[in-house]
């Protein structure tokens, strides 16, 4: 991790001739395919921010951005007017933004032949460097652990054993309901959260203990999406690698050998669904037909995510496979695996200008109110960007130059949308630690009891370790310059620099867990009960925003 990214967080082939594949039914509904062992699960997603679809919002921003750049109001934006305001390919890579299908190629700077930056040329350039209306990214369990900003990766934390009071290798409903009282006794630093360290004897380091059913490193990422930036042939190749296999009959004879085609049994589809894409009627989907399938498969689940208020809605889904949770998210139940889908509400308190000023202060090591010399040369981002940041070409970068250049970089990122898919594994601690900060808040602990109904596959009212499914989180959010999830990054950042929400809420949330407990609340207890609308014993940022200040 580059120190510049750390500073940001602190603030907040298969070659074939293929016919042109059809476009998805709607350019504003995105298909994400989960490559489950039993077959393909298709999730169709519509993402809204302030009532706008990602493409609408991003294109509207580009239009307003060009108007802002047109200083002489002549209806044209020259490269001179755009200098220092448009993120470069090198800067994009510094921020962890990866180009999609052009990965590994040298991406040229924005350089229109006539020197005039148009809406079309700017949108094309942004797409080439990886700034698209929606970015879909997958983070494996190992990568998620490595990217955690606080604490070491979780390794076999004995949470299940601690909650199993009678030692029968099953967690009953009373044991789950009593989880908060059990774990509260381990809160040695009395911050109302339970860290990894507090779950182990003093001075004992957690050891890696393999668990049956834990996910191993996978050669094939279990999710694919056209919006991910990968070329369609590469996505089809991943489908074939996953599902094309020899199928034997009862006599041990090969009934369906590997042939670079996929039938209904291999894909886990009904014959009716397969026939929709099987244009030559041979009962299998070849490479071209699989391109059509990826672009227009019938959804297993349709969801609508709103990144303005953090709400998720399911459209016409089977109630037996989709569960709405108290935190506003949805969980798709798929037997041995489950996918939790949520939307991270936008941080209304974020200010690109204020954030840029704080960044400048952190970079200005000698405090002389400008950047020069080693402050620039020792920083990869500044070294690459100095020619665009130093608008008066005096070898120094002043605050006004820095802010004027950084603001559009934050703005272009925040007018996009991100869909991050995180593999959480099967360990109980890691699943419950939803923000991956290495500790469990009271809200996360209280979620244990709610999960029983989702995981109790044999319906005996108890949870065995074998019933804990492989968990994935799918988080839709406003775009960010950070490589990790905005919701997770913002949470981790808030624990160091202040949580989101009203000022009084941030001041009272002394342990930075995103909630204000009764012990932290400085007002009348009757007012606490009034603000705590869902009566879960804690006030979250949303409840605080809709309540008057208690101070």
Mean pLDDT confidence for 22-38: 74
Is the pLDDT reported for residue 150 higher than 50?
A: no
Max mean pLDDT among 18-27, 243-252, 253-262, 277-286 falls in 277-286
Residue 434 to residue 29: CA distance in whole angstroms? 26
Task: Assess whether pLDDT exceeds 60 at residue 156.
Answer: no
Please indicate whether residue 181 or residue 216 has the higher confidence score (pLDDT): 181
Task: Give the per-residue pLDDT at 249.
Answer: 59
Look at residue 227 and tell me whether its pLDDT is greater than 80: yes
In degrees rounded to 5, what are phi and psi of residue 405?
A: -85, -40
Where does residue 526 rank: exposed (0-12), middle (13-18), buried (19+ CB within 10 A)? Answer: exposed
Q: Is 450 helix (H, G, I), strand (E, B) or coil?
A: helix
Q: With cut-offs at 50, 70 and 90, classify the pLDDT of residue 513.
A: confident
CA angle 365–351–484, rounded 5-degree value? 80
Three-point CA angle 405, 497, 521, nearest 5°: 140
Counted residue by residue, the chain has a size of: 551
pLDDT category at 338 given cuts 50, 70, 90 is confident
pLDDT tens track for 409-423: 889 989 999 999 988
Domains and CATH numbers, the chain: 1-152+220-426+470-496 (no CATH), 158-205+427-468 (1.10.238), 498-551 (1.10.238)
Q: Is the pLDDT of residue 57 over 50?
A: yes
Q: Which pLDDT score is estimated for 272?
A: 92
CB contact at 8 A, 18 and 291: yes
Answer yes or no: pTM beyond 0.75: no
Higher-confidence residue of 285 and 195: namely 285
Percent of the chain with pLDDT strictly greater than 90: 24
Residue 9 — very low, low, confident or very high, per pLDDT cuts 50/70/90? Answer: very low
**Among the ranges given (184-198, 355-369, 377-391, 397-411), the one the predictor scored with the smallest mean pLDDT:** 377-391
What would the pLDDT profile of 459-506 be if each residue is shown by its tens digit? Answer: 888 888 888 888 899 999 988 775 433 333 333 333 333 456 788 888
Tokens at 32, concatenated = 């994400």
Q: Where are the beta strands (DSSP E) in 174-244?
A: 193-195, 223-225
> Which of 12-21, 66-75, 144-153, 462-471 comes out lowest in average pLDDT?
12-21
Q: Determine the pLDDT at residue 241.
A: 92
Of the ranges 73-82, 216-225, 505-514, the best mean pLDDT one: 73-82
Span 254-281, mean pLDDT? 88
Exposure string of 209-221, with b = 16+ CB inside 10 Å and e = fewer, is eeeeeebeeeeeb
More confident residue, 450 or 533: 533
> 529 with 517: CB under 8 angstroms?
no
- Greater confidence (273 vs 518) lies with 273
Residue 398 has pLDDT above 80, yes or no: yes
- What per-residue confidence (pLDDT) applies to 236? 93
- The candidate with the shortest Cα–Cα distance to 434, out of 327, 312, 543, is 327
Terminal Cα distance for the chain, rounded: 41
Coil/strand/helix, residue 425:
strand
Contacts of 195-202 spanning 24+ positions with Cβ under 8 A: 195/151, 195/438, 195/439, 196/151, 196/152, 196/154, 196/157, 196/429, 196/438, 196/439, 197/151, 199/157, 199/158, 199/159, 199/162, 199/429, 200/157, 200/158
CA gap 242, 271 in Å, rounded: 20
Question: Residue 278: how many CA atoms within 13 Å on its side-chain side?
Answer: 17
75 and 67 Cβ atoms separated by less than 8 Å: no
């Amino acid at each position: 991790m580059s120190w510049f990214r750390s500073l940001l967080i602190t603030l907040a082939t298969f070659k074939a001739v293929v016919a042109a594949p059809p476009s998805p039914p709607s350019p504003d509904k995105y298909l994400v395919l989960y490559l489950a062992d039993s077959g393909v699960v298709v999730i169709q997603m519509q993402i809204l921010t302030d009532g706008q679809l990602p493409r609408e919002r991003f294109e509207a921003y580009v239009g307003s951005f060009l108007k802002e750049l047109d200083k002489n109001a002549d209806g044209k934006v020259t490269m001179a007017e755009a200098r220092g305001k448009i993120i470069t390919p090198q800067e994009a890579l510094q921020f962890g933004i990866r180009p999609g299908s052009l990965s590994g190629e040298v991406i040229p700077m924005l350089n229109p032949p006539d020197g005039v930056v148009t809406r079309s040329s700017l949108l094309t350039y942004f797409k080439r460097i990886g700034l698209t209306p929606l970015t879909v990214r997958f983070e494996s369990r190992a990568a998620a652990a490595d990217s955690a900003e606080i604490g070491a990766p979780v390794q076999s934390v004995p949470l299940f054993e601690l909650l199993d009071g009678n030692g029968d290798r099953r967690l009953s409903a009373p044991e789950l309901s009593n989880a908060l009282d059990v774990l509260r006794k381990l809160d040695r630093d009395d911050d109302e959260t339970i860290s990894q360290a507090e779950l182990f004897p003093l001075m004992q380091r957690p050891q890696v203990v393999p668990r049956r059913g834990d996910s191993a490193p996978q050669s094939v990422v279990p999710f694919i999406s056209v919006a991910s930036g990968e070329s369609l042939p590469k996505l089809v190749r991943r489908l074939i690698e996953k599902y094309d296999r020899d199928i034997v009959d009862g006599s041990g004879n090969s009934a369906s050998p590997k042939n670079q085609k996929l039938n209904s049994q291999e894909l886990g589809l009904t014959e009716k669904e397969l026939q929709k894409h099987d244009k030559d009627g041979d009962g299998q989907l070849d490479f071209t037909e699989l391109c059509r399938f990826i672009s227009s498969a019938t959804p297993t689940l349709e969801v609508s995510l709103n990144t303005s208020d953090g709400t998720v809605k399911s459209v016409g889904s089977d109630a037996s496979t989709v569960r709405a949770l108290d935190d506003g998210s949805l969980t798709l139940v798929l037997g041995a695996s489950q996918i939790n889908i949520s939307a991270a509400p936008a941080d209304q308190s974020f200010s690109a200008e204020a954030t840029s000023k704080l960044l400048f202060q952190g970079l200005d090591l000698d405090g002389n109110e400008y950047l020069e010399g080693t402050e620039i040369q020792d920083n990869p981002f500044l070294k690459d960007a100095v020619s665009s940041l130093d608008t008066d070409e005096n070898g120094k970068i002043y605050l006004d130059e820095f802010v004027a250049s950084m603001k559009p970089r934050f703005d272009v990122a925040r007018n996009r949308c991100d869909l991050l898919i995180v593999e959480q594994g099967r360990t109980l601690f890691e699943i419950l630690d939803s923000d991956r900060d290495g500790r469990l808040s009271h809200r996360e602990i209280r979620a244990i009891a709610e999960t029983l109904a989702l995981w109790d596959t044999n319906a005996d009212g108890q949870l065995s370790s074998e019933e804990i499914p492989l968990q994935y989180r799918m988080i839709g959010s406003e775009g960010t310059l950070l490589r990790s999830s905005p919701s997770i990054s913002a949470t981790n950042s808030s624990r160091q620099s202040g949580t989101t929400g009203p000022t009084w809420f941030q001041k009272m949330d002394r342990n930075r867990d995103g909630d204000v407990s009764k012990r932290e609340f400085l007002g009348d207890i009757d007012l606490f009960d009034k603000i705590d609308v869902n009566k879960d014993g804690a006030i979250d940022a949303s409840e605080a925003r809709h309540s008057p200040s208690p101070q």
